């Protein structure tokens, strides 16, 4: 970590979510690098960066000046209609990418880890803009060039992550090849056995007061209520119990903690709020889809809801044509609210099923 002075690397977290263009991206990134250097200035490995000369400081100031010059010229801050203005913009972006790499190399560390959070969100936001798809492709090319630059060697590592499915986001614009040279980690749902294992591992860490006589009931509760779930559901469940539990944990403790999962920041509340935030016109229709899918799972014991049957229902009940139907399905799949399963769809997560 950054606090471990024996660790030869430095780690910089960059939260993106919404960027208007690539000028905005580089502006945010350099601010976060600057902030990280200042935050850990007392740590020897960061103080070495600051005291080894003015190289890094001058490089950052030069970079900020170049960004300001681009903004003042209007390139990147206004709609670019003409080919000549667009070409000029691309040249300026390429110059920024080159200078950005120089800054990273000037840190002179064995390992520099850059973590870019909510990259799919940022891509989706860029795609809404005129020529947004072209800018996304340029952005991903910049990532690739930095990763493969001969001077970078193995010192620069870039982690692109986010709550929305990166793979599906790129497939939608047919650009998954721009990141497929890297290892992709997809966090799958835990089954009930894995959920129980994680619960008891975390319980050992936080030392919850659980009577041995109550453990079989607790296991039954986990089996039923966390048949499939995300690791965060178990982590949050334990956290809520720890904060609110009485001297002895009982069934009421478990039920109250489970209901609180529906209203904590992140998790299901986050997904629900995303529908209103990003898909205002389609949010209620998407919720209707989710409720229907869950109903088919639970009331009719269907493992998979076939695409043809789901469309037939949507057409009859919601009067949706095929195009509108696909747009709703895209929302649900892209946001990981449902998964494709053979020729249909499935909502595995038990906690999410109970919420909807």
Range with top average pLDDT, 4-18, 65-79, 172-186:
4-18
User: How many CA atoms are closer than 13 Å to the CA of 110, on its beta-carbon side?
Assistant: 5
Residue 316 pLDDT > 90, yes or no?
A: yes
- Span of 45-54, 225-234, 253-262, 337-346 with lowest mean pLDDT: 45-54
Q: Is the separation of the CB atoms in 127 and 173 below 8 Å?
A: yes
Specify whether the CB–CB gap between 124 and 81 falls below 8 A.
Answer: no
The whole-chain average pLDDT of the chain stands at 79
CA distance 198 to 190: 9
The pLDDT assigned to 178 comes to 47
* DSSP assigned state of 189: P
Are 184 and 195 in contact by the 8 Å Cβ rule? The answer is: no
DSSP state of 151: T
How much is the average pLDDT of 241-263?
83
Per-residue pLDDT at 186? 65
More confident residue, 281 or 76: 281
Asked if residues 133 and 173 have their Cβ atoms less than 8 Å apart, the reply is: yes
pLDDT (mean) for 171-198:
69
Among 53-57, 81-85, 118-122, where is mean pLDDT lowest?
53-57
pTM: 0.62
pLDDT value at residue 319: 95
Q: Residue 326: pLDDT band by 50, 70, 90 thresholds?
A: very high
| CA pair distance 291, 337, nearest whole angstrom | 11
pLDDT at residue 192 greater than cutoff 80? yes
Structure confidence by residue, pLDDT tens digits, 102-154: 887 777 667 788 888 888 888 888 888 888 888 888 888 888 888 777 776 67
Mean pLDDT comparison of 84-88, 311-315, 347-351, highest-scoring range:
311-315
**Neighbouring residues of 52: CB distance < 8 A, sequence distance ≥ 6:** 108
Segment 156-175 shows an average pLDDT of 70
Q: What percent of the chain has pLDDT over 90?
A: 18
């Amino acid at each position: 970590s950054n606090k471990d002075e024996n660790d030869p690397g430095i780690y910089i977290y960059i939260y993106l979510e919404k960027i208007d263009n690539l000028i905005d991206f580089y502006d945010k990134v350099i601010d976060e690098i600057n902030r990280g250097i200042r935050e850990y200035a007392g740590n020897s490995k960061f103080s070495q960066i600051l005291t080894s000369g003015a190289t890094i400081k001058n490089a950052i100031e030069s970079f900020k000046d170049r960004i300001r010059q681009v903004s003042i010229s209007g390139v990147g801050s206004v709609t670019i209609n003409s080919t000549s203005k667009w070409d000029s913009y691309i040249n300026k972006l390429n110059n920024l990418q080159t200078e950005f790499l120089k800054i990273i190399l000037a840190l002179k560390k064995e390992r520099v880890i850059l973590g870019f959070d909510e990259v799919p969100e940022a891509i989706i936001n860029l795609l809404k803009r005129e020529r947004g798809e072209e800018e996304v492709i340029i952005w991903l090319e910049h990532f690739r060039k930095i990763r493969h630059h001969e001077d970078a060697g193995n010192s620069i590592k870039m982690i692109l992550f986010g709550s929305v499915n990166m793979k599906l986001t790129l497939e939608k614009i047919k650009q998954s090849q721009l990141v497929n040279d890297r290892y992709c980690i997809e966090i799958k749902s835990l089954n009930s056995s894995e959920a129980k294992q994680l619960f008891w591992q975390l319980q050992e860490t936080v030392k919850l007061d659980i009577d041995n006589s109550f453990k079989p009931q607790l296991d039954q509760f986990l089996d039923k209520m966390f048949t499939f779930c995300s690791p965060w559901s178990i982590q949050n469940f334990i956290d809520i119990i720890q904060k609110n539990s009485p001297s002895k944990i009982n069934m009421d403790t478990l039920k109250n903690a489970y209901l609180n999962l529906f209203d904590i920041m992140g998790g299901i509340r986050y997904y629900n709020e995303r529908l209103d935030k990003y898909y205002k016109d389609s949010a209620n229709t998407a919720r209707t889809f989710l409720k229907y899918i869950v109903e088919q799972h639970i009331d009719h014991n269907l493992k998979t809801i076939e695409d043809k049957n789901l469309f037939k229902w949507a057409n009859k009940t919601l009067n949706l044509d095929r195009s509108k139907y696909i747009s709703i399905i895209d929302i649900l799949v892209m946001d990981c609210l449902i998964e494709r399963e053979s020729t249909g769809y499935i909502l595995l997560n038990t906690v999410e099923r109970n919420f909807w």
